[in-house]
Each structure stands twice: as C-alpha cells, then as structure tokens.
Chains A and B, each alone.
Chain A
C-alpha cells in the first residue's frame, strides 16, 4: 500500500468520523505543513497557531476533498497557505518594507544548495513580512503575481517589485555567509 492509498483510506475514515484516522493524518503531515507555516510565520509560536488552524480547517472541509482530483498534501498545503495569508492580511502584516540589500548581486548558487533546509528557513524568517510572503507564494508555492496580488490585495507591480527585493535580500545574506565561510577557511 503506497502513501496515496494510505491517505485515501485515512481520509475515508476521517469522513466517517474517525478521530484516530485524523490523528494519523496529523502525524503524517504535521512536519511538512509545519514547515509551510514556519515559512510564513514570524516565529515558531505563530507557526504553531497556523498549524492548529490548518488542521481544524482540514477536518471541517475534509468532505470537500476528492482524492481522485489530487494529493491530500497539496490540498492541505493550500489550506495552510490560506490560513497564513488570512492572518497576515487581517493584521496588515504585509506592509511592504524597504530592502536593506538591494545592491547585492547573487552568484553563489552552489553555496545555497549546500545549505540545510533549516538554514534556508532561518534566512526566510529574517526577511520583512512583505518580502517573505511574496517570496514564499511565488518562488516556493508556485502562485502567479496576479494570484498573489489578488490574495494580498496589492498591485501586480508591487508583487513583482517585492519579489525582486526579496531575492536580492536573500542573495545578499548568502553572499555574506559565503564571505564569512571563506574567511574562516582562509
């Protein structure tokens, strides 16, 4: 039985009211969804709140999920993103900030690929919320600028400019880290 089949059975059981099956679903996906929440949240505590709301929404809307139309993880991930965006929008957290490193160039992709996921996440979390949200939505979660503009209530041009600044911000961070590493090795 592969993971998808297991998901289907668990989801059917959850639809039938099984709390145990829902707990199994939680255990299977809590890590991946928590990472999604960590990417959007300003801190761990907020991410846990996002995760909690995500799973409650998953339970409430499980009847609407059709395993034939897609994977549960993608569906749940969308819910997690929506939960994060709702909070960010409701608290006006996406007030766009200026970048502190617009001038930096990125040419250290090798260094980036050698970094751990946690290090990447830590870099994301240092970004201003506007950069972070647009970067997450566009680069990692695959939304278009039009979709981002609609979801965040901003102009498409603003989304594009925020993404550009986010990229430069991250590239600057990575460049700085590479320099530090080179100095240490040198």
Chain B
C-alpha cells in the first residue's frame, strides 16, 4: 500500500471521526429505523399471534360443540344427571308400542297408550336406571302376546350408570353421545339380562322367535344389544313394554341454562420477580424496585355449563398496575459548557426498571455558584412504571358440591393468554445530591412496550364462593393466584416474571 492509499484508509477507517453536522444523519433516519424494527418485531411475533388465534379457535370450537350438545339436551329436556337412557329414533313409530311409566302410572295403568304419534326424533323414549332392568320385571311387564311394531332405523343407547332417573316425557337424550360406547359394558350387561346366553328367556322367545329374516344390515352397524329393537325383530310384538321405575326417580330440571355471561372486577397485586443476575449487576447503583405493585382489573366473562358441577369459562380482562423503581448514577456537570442563558445542562440517561432500561431526558439547572468547572454528581433516580395488560383467561370451574344452595364453594383452574399493551416508565425525580442543582424533567415518559415479551402465558388457580340470586343471577367472590409461565422481559441473562394475585367479585347471568 502506498502512502496515498494509507492516508485515505487511515482517515476513514482507523481515526475517530468526530460528530459534526455534515456526518450526522437527520432525526428522520432513526424514526425510519424504528419503523423498520417494529415491522421486523411484528414479523417475529407472528408465531405467537398464530398460537393465540389457534387457542381462540380451539376455545370457539369447544364452545360450538358444547352448544350443539346443549341444544340437543334442551330438545330432549333431559340432563346428564339421568341414569340409563335409551333413545330410539325412527322415521315412524307406533306410540302404542313404546311407553314408559312411572311406578304410579304403572300400577294404575298397566298398559299405557299415550296417544302420541310422530317420528321418533321428536318422540324418543328414555329408560333410565338399572334396578328395574331384570328379566323378571320384563317378563312380568311384557305379556307374551305383546310385540313392538316399528320401522326404527336408528337406535341409540345412552347409559350413564348413575342411579335411575327417567323423564316422564317421551323423549330421550343424545346430549353426550360420546358416552354411548364408553358405557358399552353396562349396555352389554343390560342386553344380556334381556337375552340370556342360553337363548332362553322371554325376549329371545317373544322377539327373536318372531323373526323371519334374522339380523339385518342395520344390526351390524349397531351394538349387538340394539338388535332387540331392529325392525325385523320387533314387528311381531303387539303390546307395549312396561318398565317399572324406582321411587327415587330424579326429574331433571326443565329450565337448565347452559350459557351465561358476567362482569368481573377486582383488585390485583402484581408481584415482580426479577432474576438475581439482574439485581446483582445493578447492586452497585443501589437499584431497587417495588416487589408488590397494586392494580385493578375489570372485564367480561362467558361461561358454559358442562354439567351441574363443571363450567368452562373464557373471558377478556383489562388490567392496570403501577410500580416504582430507583437507582443512582453518576453525572458530570460542566460549568463552562452549560447553557449560558439558563445555566443548565440537558441529560439523556438510561433508567433501570424491572422491565429493562428506559431512556429519560432531564435537565439540571444550576441555581448558585459552584467551585470548579466540572462537578461530579451522584444522582438518585426515581421512576414510576405503569403496566397495562389484556388477559384472556380460559378456565374450568368445579363446584364440588351441587349448586343447590344459595352459597356454593368452587375452585377454578386454567390458563391465561396475556398481552402486555403498555409498560410506561415515568421519571419522577432526580436528586443530584447537590444543593446548587435543581432537577427539571424533559421527555421523561418512555414506553417500554417494544422491550417486552408482550405475549405471555400464565397458569391460574382460584377458590371462591358462588351465591345465587333469583332464577338466573349469581355473584361470585374469589381469590385467585396467577403464576407467570413465561418471562415478560428478557435481555441476555436478565429477565423478569410477573405473578399476580386477584381478589375479585363478579356478577353473572344465565342467558340460555
């Protein structure tokens, strides 16, 4: 390299270039860079957004499926509290051949003819409870001459295995068809009680003996026991089946409401958990922060009753909390370089917070003469941060006791998907530790949003008390602990988590 090249290289590569107007880019450049960075951050956040949307879609799907089942349950008018349920669906049925009687009705009217007609989708027969299912009872209640005549094309059984309960309506439940095959074992035993293994017994004689076609194709699609009611087999039965029902029959509520909505509000304690590395590194600066920040929250909750003891709940909650932090930092004040008019210096400093560093601009004004040209100051910084968070809790609420009384305890567990919308740090005070200088804030508000892991997940557990008011209204008082599962601030080895405690009240109304 000759001297010519060396001079050029040294001038532009190795020598420090002092900032000057000609080599200082305009303010608009940083703004444009910030925009580009924000776009990049959004691009990186897309997976989290998809995760959030996926969770919402899953929740919506669950709600939709729940709604579908709920509609069926409402149609049939029977709750899941019922025991054994047999539902027959058919395009056409002669109601004379299918009826279910309460014990009293059975006594007074051994043969029931309800007179109801129509297809079996609207006229399903529900039979609940194991105790009354016995050969003896069946033999005693179904005369040999009786037969069932139907063109049933679909027979569905639902057995819950609980103590018997039966609807006095001629409808049955399809509310939880998923339990159909889970309870197949019970159904088998039920079927076997009707059809003894030896081929003897009443039904085998009175139903199957009348068959001329044997098992039809539809029987192959149905559980074996359902062949009892296959079209070809039951055509020959002439009379009704009378089933006795135990006295402890539980009639389900006709006005069971599945969906509800409510408003929830309360006070919150935000527990900021900063890892020790972060604290230790800043210990020399007397870094301190509020471990417990007080706040409040309010929002909307939707719930869906899966059964009398279990609710699924989703909500949207807005939260706000305020905390503080402090530290000290060294500053230099040059008297000769101060602004001659205002006798002040402007500073742009980094202020430590549990959520990262916030930039703060302030001015120190000299109010009296000082000795020397350059004064070393050890200034105390105090700042306040305001946190705003949107929370989307997804929880299950369990009532260990039936919701029969006015006050019922409950426990909830679930997760929360959160979105930190704002963490704003405000420089409240700078104490320069020198009587000759006064603090004056300039641009002291810093929005730390872009420093945070804005989307974060938590796990939550609560205990509470539910009180019913009137037919559809209820109120809840609960204490909830929320454990942050993901970090909300992370920078290299430094990170913060947030745990929260909620004390809340809510009012809920059952809608439909």
Q: Tell whether A and B belong to one assembly.
A: yes
Using a CB–CB cutoff of 8 Å, the interface residues on chain A facing chain B are: 9, 12-13, 15-24, 26, 30-32, 34-36, 38-39, 47-48, 51-53, 55-56, 59-60, 106, 109, 112-113, 117-118, 120, 139-142, 167, 171
Distance of A120 Cα from B356 Cα, bound (Å): 42
Tell whether, in the assembled complex, residue B350 and residue A109 are in contact, meaning their CB atoms are under 8 Å apart.
no
Query: Of all chain A residues, which has the CB nearest B21?
Result: A118
Tell whether, in the assembled complex, residue B358 and residue A20 are in contact, meaning their CB atoms are under 8 Å apart.
yes
Total CB contacts across the A-B interface at under 8 A: 118
Distance of A167 Cα from B359 Cα, bound (Å): 46
In angstroms, how far is the closest chain A Cβ from the Cβ of B57?
A: 27
Interface residues of B in 14-51 (CB under 8 A from A): 15, 17, 19-20, 22-26, 28-30, 32-34, 36-37, 40-41
Contact partners of B40 in chain A: CB under 8 A:
56, 59-60
Residue of B8, B17, B358, B448 touching A139 (CB-CB under 8 A) = B8
Distance of A52 Cα from B28 Cα, bound (Å): 9
Distance of A6 Cα from B415 Cα, bound (Å): 39
Residue of A21, A56, A140 touching B33 (CB-CB under 8 A) = A56
Tell whether, in the assembled complex, residue A56 and residue B36 are in contact, meaning their CB atoms are under 8 Å apart.
yes
In angstroms, how far is the closest chain A Cβ from the Cβ of B17?
A: 6
Q: Does B81 contact A (CB under 8 A)?
A: no
A-B contact pairs, 17 of them (CB 8 A): A9-B492, A17-B453, A18-B356, A18-B451, A19-B451, A20-B448, A22-B37, A23-B359, A31-B23, A34-B23, A106-B4, A112-B4, A117-B12, A117-B23, A142-B9, A142-B13, A171-B4
Using a CB–CB cutoff of 8 Å, the interface residues on chain B facing chain A are: 3-5, 7-9, 11-13, 15, 17, 19-20, 22-26, 28-30, 32-34, 36-37, 40-41, 350, 356-359, 446, 448, 450-453, 490-494
Residue of B4, B11, B41, B453 touching A117 (CB-CB under 8 A) = B11
Residue of A12, A30, A171 touching B25 (CB-CB under 8 A) = A30
Tell whether, in the assembled complex, residue B492 and residue A15 are in contact, meaning their CB atoms are under 8 Å apart.
yes
Tell whether, in the assembled complex, residue B490 and residue A17 are in contact, meaning their CB atoms are under 8 Å apart.
yes
Tell whether, in the assembled complex, residue A52 and residue B23 are in contact, meaning their CB atoms are under 8 Å apart.
no
Tell whether, in the assembled complex, residue A16 and residue B492 are in contact, meaning their CB atoms are under 8 Å apart.
yes
**Interface on chain A toward B: helix, strand, loop, or mixed SS?**
helix
Tell whether, in the assembled complex, residue B4 and residue A167 are in contact, meaning their CB atoms are under 8 Å apart.
yes
Tell whether, in the assembled complex, residue B26 and residue A48 are in contact, meaning their CB atoms are under 8 Å apart.
yes
In angstroms, how far is the closest chain B Cβ from the Cβ of A7?
A: 13
Tell whether, in the assembled complex, residue B356 and residue A34 are in contact, meaning their CB atoms are under 8 Å apart.
no
Query: Of all chain B residues, which has the CB nearest A119?
Result: B11
Tell whether, in the assembled complex, residue B8 and residue A140 are in contact, meaning their CB atoms are under 8 Å apart.
yes
Contact partners of A34 in chain B: CB under 8 A:
23-25
Query: Of all chain B residues, which has the CB nearest A17?
Result: B451
Query: Of all chain A residues, which has the CB nearest B351?
Result: A20
Contact partners of A16 in chain B: CB under 8 A:
490-492, 494
Tell whether, in the assembled complex, residue A51 and residue B17 are in contact, meaning their CB atoms are under 8 Å apart.
no
Contact partners of A19 in chain B: CB under 8 A:
34, 37, 448, 450-451
Residue of B7, B29, B448, B453 touching A51 (CB-CB under 8 A) = B29
Tell whether, in the assembled complex, residue A39 and residue B24 are in contact, meaning their CB atoms are under 8 Å apart.
no
In angstroms, how far is the closest chain B Cβ from the Cβ of A66?
A: 14
Tell whether, in the assembled complex, residue B359 and residue A52 are in contact, meaning their CB atoms are under 8 Å apart.
no
Tell whether, in the assembled complex, residue A139 and residue B491 are in contact, meaning their CB atoms are under 8 Å apart.
no
Distance of A139 Cα from B6 Cα, bound (Å): 8
Q: Which 10 A-B pairs have the closest CB atoms?
A: A16-B491, A12-B492, A56-B36, A19-B450, A13-B491, A55-B33, A52-B32, A139-B5, A140-B12, A18-B491
Tell whether, in the assembled complex, residue B36 and residue A52 are in contact, meaning their CB atoms are under 8 Å apart.
yes
With contact pairs A22-B37, A109-B3, A140-B8 given, residues A118 and B22 touching in the complex (Cβ less than 8 Å): yes
15 additional A-B pairs beyond A16-B492, A19-B450, A117-B23, beta carbons within 8 Å, are: A18-B356, A23-B359, A30-B29, A30-B30, A31-B19, A35-B23, A48-B28, A56-B36, A60-B40, A112-B4, A117-B12, A117-B15, A139-B5, A139-B9, A140-B13
